[in-house]
Chains A and B, each alone.
Chain A
Amino acid sequence: MGGNQSVPKVTPQDRAILDLKLQRDKLRQYQKKIQVILDREHEIAKAHLATGQKDRAVIALRRRKYQQGLLVKTDGQLENLEQLVSTIEFSLVEVSVLHGLKQGNEVLKEIHKEMNVESVEKLLEETAEARAYQREIDEMLANNLSLDEEEAVQDELKELQALAMVEAKQEVDAKLPSVPTERPAEVADPVPTPEPAREGGDRVAVPA
Chain B
Amino acid sequence: MSLVAHATPSGYLLPSIHSAPPFFTKQINPTTRSIADDHWTRIILGYARHRRLFTLRVEDAETSGNEWDEIFRNERINRRLLPDHLASLISSMVANNLAVYEPPKQSRSVLLYWRRPEEWADVLHSWVASTGQMNTIMTFYEITDPPVESPLSSLPIVILRKAIDVLSKSARAQIIAIADGEGVRFFPGGNKI
Interface, chain A (partner B; CB < 8 A): 3-8, 10, 14-15, 17-19, 21-23, 25, 28-29, 89
| Closest chain A residue, CB of each to CB of B168 | A7
Report whether A14 and B193 are in contact in the complex, using a CB–CB cutoff of 8 Å: no
From residue B116, how far is it (CB to closest CB) to chain A in Å?
21
A134 to chain B minimum Cβ distance, whole angstroms, is 53
The 7 closest A-B pairs by CB, nearest first: A18-B183, A25-B141, A5-B171, A7-B174, A22-B181, A21-B139, A22-B180
Alpha-carbon distance A203/B102, docked complex (angstroms): 102
Q: Is the CB of A10 within 8 A of B176?
A: yes
Contact of A19 among B136, B171, B178, B187 (CB under 8 A): B178
CB distance B180 to A19 under 8 Å? Answer: yes
B183 touches A22 (CB 8 A): yes
With A7-B171, A7-B174, A22-B183 given, is the CB distance from A17 to B193 under 8 Å?
A: no
Main secondary structure of the interface of A (DSSP, over half): helix
Question: How far is it, in angstroms, between the C-alpha of A22 and the C-alpha of B168 when the chains are bound?
Answer: 21
What residues of B have a CB within 8 angstroms of the CB of A25 in the complex? 139, 141-142
* 8 Å CB contact of B137 from A21, A23, A28: A21
B152–chain A nearest beta-carbon distance, Å: 15
Quick one: which of B173-193 are within 8 Å of A by CB? 174, 176, 178, 180-181, 183, 185, 187, 189, 193
Name 14 extra pairs, CB < 8 A, besides A8-B174, A18-B178, A22-B178: A3-B193, A4-B171, A5-B171, A6-B171, A7-B174, A14-B137, A18-B137, A18-B176, A19-B178, A21-B183, A22-B139, A22-B181, A25-B139, A29-B141
Residues of B close to A6: CB separation below 8 A: 171
Interface size, B (range): 10 to 19
- Interchain nearest-CB distance for B177 vs A (Å): 9
CB distance from A99 to the nearest CB of B (A): 14
Most chain B CB neighbours (cut-off 10 Å) among A21, A28, A29, A89: A21
Q: Is the CB of B189 within 8 A of A5?
A: yes
B82 at interface by CB-CB < 8 Å: no
Q: Which residue of B lies closest to A3 (CB)?
A: B193
A18 cross-chain contacts in B, Cβ below 8 A: 137, 139, 176, 178, 181, 183
Known: A3-B193, A22-B183. A15 touches B138 (CB 8 A): no
Nearest chain A residue, comparing its CB with the CB of B138: A21
Given A3-B193, A7-B187, A14-B176, decide whether A21 and B142 contact each other with a Cβ distance below 8 A.
yes
A29 partner residues in chain B, CB cutoff 8 A: 141
Report chain B residues within 8 Å CB of A23: 180
B contact residues around A22 at 8 Å (CB): 139, 178, 180-181, 183
Tell me which residues from 112 to 155 in chain B have a Cβ below 8 Å from any Cβ of chain A. 136-139, 141-142, 145
